[in-house]
Amino acid sequence: MMPAAALEPAEHAWAPPHALLLVCLSLLVLVLWCISLATGYAPLDLAQALSDIANGNKTLGALVLVELRLPRALLGCFVGFSLGITGAGMQGLLRNPLAEPGIIGVSGAAAFGAVAIFYFGLAGAFALALPLGGIAGAAAATVLLYGLAGRGAGTMTLILAGVAINSFAAALTALALNLSPNPYAVTEIVFWLLGSLADRSLPYVWLVLPLMLLGWGLLILSGPALDALTLGEDTAQSLGFDLARLRLQLVAGTALAVGSAVAVTGTIAFVGLVMPHLLRPLVAHRPGRLLLVSGLGGAALTLAADIGVRILPIRPELKLGVVTAIIGAPFLFGLIYRLREEA
């Protein structure tokens, strides 16, 4: 494993008080969430719509708010939080600033699960077919991951198993595109894979929220063990942490949170890589504290990007995953440049 301490410059010895940081980030997420609610294509009198909902009037405004805006804003929040917190968890586990939640292969498999639903023409069969397919893909990948890199296997085995699962899911996705019955299905699959929050309904939210909450809980509980892991595996173990259990906990948490995120939105790149990296100096490089902070940062970034795609005068609407990748990739160039400078 790379000794990351050598890669991370120490120019930010100062860090804000942790509680203050959490409050500020939470407020930022709240503000962006409200802006996301207020943003959209149909003109909407937000105050009127809210009072309609309060009075039980099923007006068009109330319908737009509840059926279109609300699920989009909620999912932006939850999906972003999932990506941010799992990114921080994976970087902490692997002690590598270039790790991201997709590294264990669950997101690739979730994407394939949804693609299979499109391929077999089941997307319209019932309302939740797509996310359920994605979740099934993520679950299958998790079982495979435990089979390949179960209890007793080291971190390297886990990464290799992730690479293998990712390649296999990508191959199956390519196969589905290859054998696709008509160009329309191909377009549908490709557009879905690009990642978007548009046109998701509230049942999507209720389907994935419990899974995500469970995943977030598993990740947050692993905080002290991730702190201890800063000193290496032997020392972490000598401090009373069971590393095999920690790996299982982080893999399960990541699979639950990211698997369900990808199942509803498709692939949204770079949030899980960039957020932990940007925010790490603000928690004085403490991996345990980074979890929640990175989750909030991920929610803020995802909401902001999703507001951006609706405000930008580009039609057809840019896919959210495309925007985060376009913002994120240059960031990666910068990161590589900095690592090279310090080498």
Partner 1 sequence: MEIEADAISVRFGAVALFEGVDFAMRAGEMVGLIGPNGAGKTTLLRVLASLRAPEGGRVRYRGRSAAELGRRELARRLAYLAQDASVHWPMRVDALVALGRLPHRRPFQGVTAADRDAIEQAMAATAIMSLRSRTLAQVSSGERMRVLLARALAVDARVMLADEPIAALDPLHQLQVMQLLRAIAGEDRGVIVVLHDLALAMRFCDRLVLLARGGILAQGAPARVLTDDNLAQAYGVEVVRGERDGIPFLLPWKPSGQGEGGA
Close Cβ partners of 47 (under 8 Å, ≥ 6 residues apart): none
Minimum CB–partner distance for residue 19 and partner 1 (Å) = 11
Minimum CB–partner distance for residue 146 and partner 1 (Å) = 22
Close Cβ partners of 17 (under 8 Å, ≥ 6 residues apart): none
Minimum CB–partner distance for residue 32 and partner 1 (Å) = 28
CB-nearer residue toward partner 1: 242 or 317: 242
Minimum CB–partner distance for residue 2 and partner 1 (Å) = 9
Angle between helices 271-279 and 287-311 (to 10 degrees): 120
Q: Which DSSP state fits 170?
A: H
CB-nearer residue toward partner 1: 56 or 240: 240
Close Cβ partners of 289 (under 8 Å, ≥ 6 residues apart): 18, 223, 283
CB-nearer residue toward partner 1: 5 or 31: 5
Q: Is 312 exposed, middle or buried (0-12, 13-18, 19+ CB in 10 A)?
A: exposed
- Give the interface with partner 1 as residue ranges (CB under 8 A): 1, 3-6, 8-10, 13, 95, 221, 224, 227-232, 234-235, 237-242, 280, 284-287
The 3-state DSSP class for residue 312 equals coil
Query: What single letter denotes the amino acid at residue 139?
Result: A
CB-nearer residue toward partner 1: 222 or 302: 222
Minimum CB–partner distance for residue 88 and partner 1 (Å) = 12
CB-nearer residue toward partner 1: 8 or 188: 8
Q: How far is the CA of 127 from the CAs of 52, 123, 203, in angstroms?
A: 26, 8, 8
Minimum CB–partner distance for residue 238 and partner 1 (Å) = 4
CB-nearer residue toward partner 1: 285 or 310: 285
Cα separation, 20 vs 42, whole angstroms: 37
Close Cβ partners of 264 (under 8 Å, ≥ 6 residues apart): 75, 79, 130, 131, 134, 200, 204, 207, 208
Structure tokens at 315: 């039609």
Minimum CB–partner distance for residue 221 and partner 1 (Å) = 7
Contact 36, 73 (CB under 8 A): yes
Contact 227, 287 (CB under 8 A): yes
Cα separation, 245 vs 317, whole angstroms: 43
Minimum CB–partner distance for residue 82 and partner 1 (Å) = 22
Close Cβ partners of 63 (under 8 Å, ≥ 6 residues apart): none
Q: Which residue has the tokens 């507001």?
A: 307
Minimum CB–partner distance for residue 253 and partner 1 (Å) = 16
